[in-house]
């Protein structure tokens, strides 16, 4: 396999990039709802429908992103959600 073929093999499908953009938009929407609404920002980020849908989309499409540069975005999006939930629970337990 030539270097050009290897580079093409690592190129993500357009739908994978689109889903990553949609997930970022859903998380941003959840944060805006938290800012504008009565919920807290963190509560809205981890407990709102847009964020939950975003994480589900990440898990469903994660396999399609494997081996591409978009894989790190999917991993970051998933980890951000779970770390936010973890720190929310730790903070709640300490109150």
Rounded to 5 degrees, what angle do the CA atoms 67, 70, 73 make? 125
Total H helices, total E strands in the chain: 5, 0
Kindly report the length of the chain. Answer: 95
Each residue's pLDDT expressed in tens, for the chain with a length of 95 residues: 455 445 555 788 888 999 999 999 999 999 898 888 877 888 888 888 999 999 999 999 999 999 999 999 999 999 999 999 999 999 999 98
pLDDT of residue 5: 47
């Amino acid at each position: 396999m030539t270097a050009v073929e290897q580079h093409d093999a690592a190129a993500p499908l357009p739908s994978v990039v689109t889903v990553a953009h949609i997930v970022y938009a859903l998380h941003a929407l959840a944060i805006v709802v938290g800012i504008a609404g009565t919920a807290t920002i963190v509560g809205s980020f981890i407990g709102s429908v847009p964020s939950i849908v975003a994480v589900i989309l990440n898990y469903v499409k994660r396999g399609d992103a494997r081996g591409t540069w978009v894989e790190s975005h999917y991993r970051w999006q998933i980890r951000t959600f779970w770390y936010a939930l973890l720190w929310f629970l730790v903070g709640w337990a300490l109150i």
